[in-house]
Amino acid sequence: MTDTHSFELSGIARPLNVEAMLDEICEHFVEHSEVSRLKDKAVLTSSQSLIELFQKPDHLEIRLACGSEEELEATRTMFAEHLYYFAGEEPFSLDWSKPAPRVRPANLQEAVVISTSEVTPRMLRVTLAPEDMTPFINGDIHVRLLVPQAKRPPVWPKLRADGRIDWPKGEDKLLVRVYTIRSVDAGKGQITLDIFQHPAEGISTPGADFARDALQGTRIGIMGPGGGGLPQTDQILFAGDESALPAIARMIEEASPETKIKAIIEVEDKAEEQPISSKARISIEWLHRASCSEGTTNLLAERTKAAIDSMEAGTFVWFAAERSAMRNVKAYLAARGHDRKRQYVAWYWEEGKHADD
Ligand SMILES: Cc1cc2nc3c(=O)[nH]c(=O)nc-3n(C[C@H](O)[C@H](O)[C@H](O)COP(=O)(O)OP(=O)(O)OC[C@H]3O[C@@H](n4cnc5c(N)ncnc54)[C@H](O)[C@@H]3O)c2cc1C
């Protein structure tokens, strides 16, 4: 541990197959941290945390170290949620040297809706005033939005002893959706989220409806930020659909003049294109779903793969969209032997599934 990581915690995870879980952790985190793996040890290093993992015959020993108590708790929660996700339905237990205190997660705060406005016919902008702007200034770019049930006072989640989040249930159940912070105005104490309207016959879209119906003064919760931001490199290929457009637009705007960027963005039609300004050298290609023949669903993935074929060596590939498109692009990069440290390939939604299914 280093001086900058003086807040520490250790834990014991007992998965069914210790080695398989260690493999899965390394495989997943390689796009988010610096991962070094020896046979029975792995170290994950990020700007916030140092996570050391030791493979033992019947358990995984975990050591977490961070620069502050808040970062340590947030890292524990993030890591615990991932471990349970990797375990799936298999038996799994997780114990820490010091159980998590039964308090509201440190990275959860309240925010008030200031206004909503139309960016394009299908993209609505929600302006929020968080209680504390500090985490958003030069911070990561994604947040979890927590919307309480209408006409009920908010009941916020608390931590479980294993670090995971204990979400309120029943009448206090919260709507939880992940969005990108499109912009931060430290002077005004405000952030904005751009939320895509994707109505479909007979299917509820509670996240999109929140943006459509949000009233000034409504109190909501925001958890985060997390999930990284602009890749620190000078050649980037961005590709995504409307769910990724707020992230791509923000990162393009933040890029330095030395950065060379190509962006491929799929939207419904011309009316959904947005002006994106930048000091970087950029070329943006807009794809229009509406002008494709019926049943064509892989427009973005195919165009991205063609761009990967012609990009310069060492280009960072940033891709986010529907789950099957993500799989298509991820497999393509793997087949080409693309360096995993030079990619962020994520799914932001899944066809036919609610985000909380
Ligand atoms: C890290 C991250 C950042 C994100 N940032 C943003 C953002 O800034 N803005 C944004 O609008 N979204 C963003 N998303 C995507 C957003 O969280 C999902 O689209 C979410 O499913 C929307 O919730 P909902 O309640 O509207 O629809 P859900 O209840 O989740 O789904 C209802 C139906 O709509 C479909 N659906 C969901 N999303 C879409 C979509 N984008 N296009 C077409 N059909 C869809 C589902 O397949 C389902 O059939 C982000 C996701 C992640 C993981």
pLDDT in tens, 135-186: 999 889 999 999 999 888 999 999 999 999 999 999 999 999 999 999 999 9
- The full length of the chain comes to 357
Q: What are the 10-residue block averages of pLDDT along the chain, 357 residues in total?
A: 79 97 93 89 92 97 95 94 96 97 95 98 98 93 96 94 97 97 97 96 96 95 93 97 98 97 97 97 95 73 97 97 96 96 95 92
7-96 belongs to which CATH class?
alpha beta
Ligand 1 atom with least separation from CA of 193? 8
How confident is the model at residue 3, as a pLDDT?
57
Q: What ranges do the domains of the chain cover?
A: 7-96, 108-226, 235-349
Distance from Cα 240 to the centre of ligand 1, integer Å: 13
Distance from Cα 93 to the centre of ligand 1, integer Å: 31
Distance from Cα 195 to the centre of ligand 1, integer Å: 8
Residue nearest to atom 3 of ligand 1 (CA): 179
Distance from Cα 346 to the centre of ligand 1, integer Å: 13
Ligand 1 atom with least separation from CA of 355? 30
How confident is the model at residue 291, as a pLDDT?
80
Distance from Cα 355 to the centre of ligand 1, integer Å: 7
Q: Is 208 in the pocket of ligand 1 (CB under 6 A)?
A: yes
How far CA 93 is from CA of 53, 168, 265, in Å, comes to: 16, 22, 42
The answer as to CATH 2.40.30.10 being correct for domain 108-226 is yes
Q: Is 348 in the pocket of ligand 1 (CB under 6 A)?
A: yes
Distance from Cα 322 to the centre of ligand 1, integer Å: 9
Residue 237 is encoded by which pair of tokens? 């290929």
CATH number of 235-349: 3.40.50.80
Q: Is 196 in the pocket of ligand 1 (CB under 6 A)?
A: yes
**CA angle 345-350-352, nearest 5°?**
165
Alpha-carbon gap, residue 29 to 34, rounded angstroms:
8
Ligand 1 atom with least separation from CA of 175? 25
Q: Is 147 in the pocket of ligand 1 (CB under 6 A)?
A: no
Distance from Cα 243 to the centre of ligand 1, integer Å: 6
- The model's pLDDT over 69-80, given as tens digits with 9 standing for 90+, comes to 988 999 999 999
**CA angle 151-208-217, nearest 5°?**
40
Distance from Cα 143 to the centre of ligand 1, integer Å: 13
β-pair partners for 44: 35, 51
Distance from Cα 142 to the centre of ligand 1, integer Å: 13
3-state per-residue secondary structure call for the chain: CCHHHCEEEEEEEECCCHHHHHHHHHHHHCCCCEEEEECCEEEEECCCEEEEEEECCCCEEEEEEECCHHHHHHHHHHHHHHHHHHHCCCCCEEEECCCCCCCCCCCEEEEEEEEEEEEECCEEEEEEEECCCHHHCCCCCEEEEEECCCCCCCCCCEECCCCCEECCCHHHCCEEEEEEEEEEECCCCEEEEEEECCCECCECCHHHHHHHHCCCCCEEEEEEEECCCCCCCCEEEEEECCCCHHHHHHHHHHCCCCCEEEEEEEECCHHHCCCCCCCCEEEEEEEEHHHCCCCCCCHHHHHHHHHHHHCCCCCEEEEEEEHHHHHHHHHHHHHHCCCHHHEEEEEEECCCCCCCC
Q: Is 151 in the pocket of ligand 1 (CB under 6 A)?
A: no
Ligand 1 atom with least separation from CA of 351? 47
In this structure, how many other beta carbons lie within 10 angstroms of the beta carbon of residue 31?
Answer: 16
Residue nearest to atom 37 of ligand 1 (CA): 349
